[in-house]
Amino acid sequence: QVQLVESGGGLVQAGGSLRLSCAASGRTFVNYVMGWFRQAPGKEREFVATISPVGFTIYHADSVKGRFTISRDNAKKTGYLQMNSLNPEETAVYYCAARGRGDISAAAAGYDYWGQGTKVPVSS
């Protein structure tokens, strides 16, 4: 119903910034909750941030609060994750996800659609 494609990943130095994009296609994106998750090698998938369909409700994980900012542009059917002050421990594959109904969620199981992920290696 919804297809998601992440982009913008790539090598970044510690302390640097990167903006990830999540392009959506299929059924209207405006009605979907969006989330960002990340998965480091050998680790479980970790919640990063979530945003409500129109963007009025936003929640960031404590680990990224103040450094990362989730946003969306429904006219472009694209979600974003601005990442600042990155550190090497945040090296991971970053995934965007969409939730067809319900409230914002920090649980991966609550999302219906997932992108393929984009790699973000953070060098020290």
**Quick count: other Cβ atoms within 10 Å of Cβ 109?**
6
pLDDT digits (tens, 9 = 90+) for 39-57: 999 999 999 999 999 999 9
pLDDT at 85: 98
For 57-111, the pLDDT digits (tens) are: 999 999 999 999 999 999 999 999 999 999 999 999 999 999 987 899 999 999 9
- Contact indicator for 79, 51 with CB cutoff of 8 Å: yes
Q: Which residue has the tokens 């297809």?
A: 3
pLDDT of residue 14: 98
Please provide the DSSP assignment of 82-116 as one string.
EE-S--GGG-EEEEEEEESSSS--S-GGG-SEE--
